Amino acid sequence: MSFERLHPLVGLWLVAAVTLSAQTGGQPASRRDADLLKQKIALIAEQGGAAPSERRLRTTLTEQEVNAYLAHDGQEFLPAGVVSPGVTILGTGRLSGRAIVDLDQIREDRKPTSLLDPMSYLRGRLPVTATGGLRTSNGVATFQFESADVGGVPIPKLLLQQMVGYYSRSPTRPSGFSLDDPVPLPARIREIQLQRGQAIVIQ
């Protein structure tokens, strides 16, 4: 099971350039932490395929493990034009994020409609950041937009959605994801609880 399917918010934000700040505390991304996250993903997938149990199963993913995974293996599933992803788990139900995004690709594909169109001024590879909430219940996750910026300049949700749509396009989703779309959780995950620096996956 791939990481982006297992963790809908990170997957959506990565593919859509809504991913997040790099290592906490300036710690280098270790291969050991990346491998540890892979083991936890495999465990969650295995538990999801086992016979249902009345006991809730909890697996804790740390921010450091997630960022190490993104640093070592994330580019395998990122679209061309999105690099240097990371994630910061801010606290109860909230995340913030950053990735370097090639905005020229979006502008060339979607021609700006006028000089007032913000895409007219966005050029080159720039850091895109976003902050929002993750709400999960009964096996479904939703993202609640709070703020976003490009190169430190605040942008509206509509502009962020254009980036999300472009970089998450696929044959089955030609328009890409919507920030407001509910996302079914895989592997019989019922809930993801966010606490500062970690996410607790409950099956």
Q: Give pLDDT tens digits for 89-132.
A: 898 999 888 889 999 888 888 766 666 666 767 788 999 999 99
Mean pLDDT of 176-184: 85
Tokens linked to 194: 């966010």
Q: What is the pLDDT of residues 13-67, one digit of tens each?
A: 443 332 233 333 445 678 999 999 889 988 988 999 888 888 899 999 998 998 8
| CB of 164 closer than 8 Å to CB of 181 | no
Domain around 115: 3-202
Alpha helix positions (H), 1-62: 3-6, 8-15, 31-49
From CA 75, how far away is CA 129, in angstroms rounded?
18
The number of distinct structural domains making up the chain is 1
> What confidence category does residue 3 fall into, taking pLDDT thresholds of 50, 70 and 90?
very low
- Residue 121 CA neighbour count, 13 Å, CB half: 9
The number of beta carbons lying within 10 Å of the beta carbon of residue 140 is 15
Q: Is the pTM here over 0.85, yes or no?
A: no
* Angle (deg, nearest 10), helices 63-73 and 31-49: 100
Residues facing 126 on adjacent strands = 101
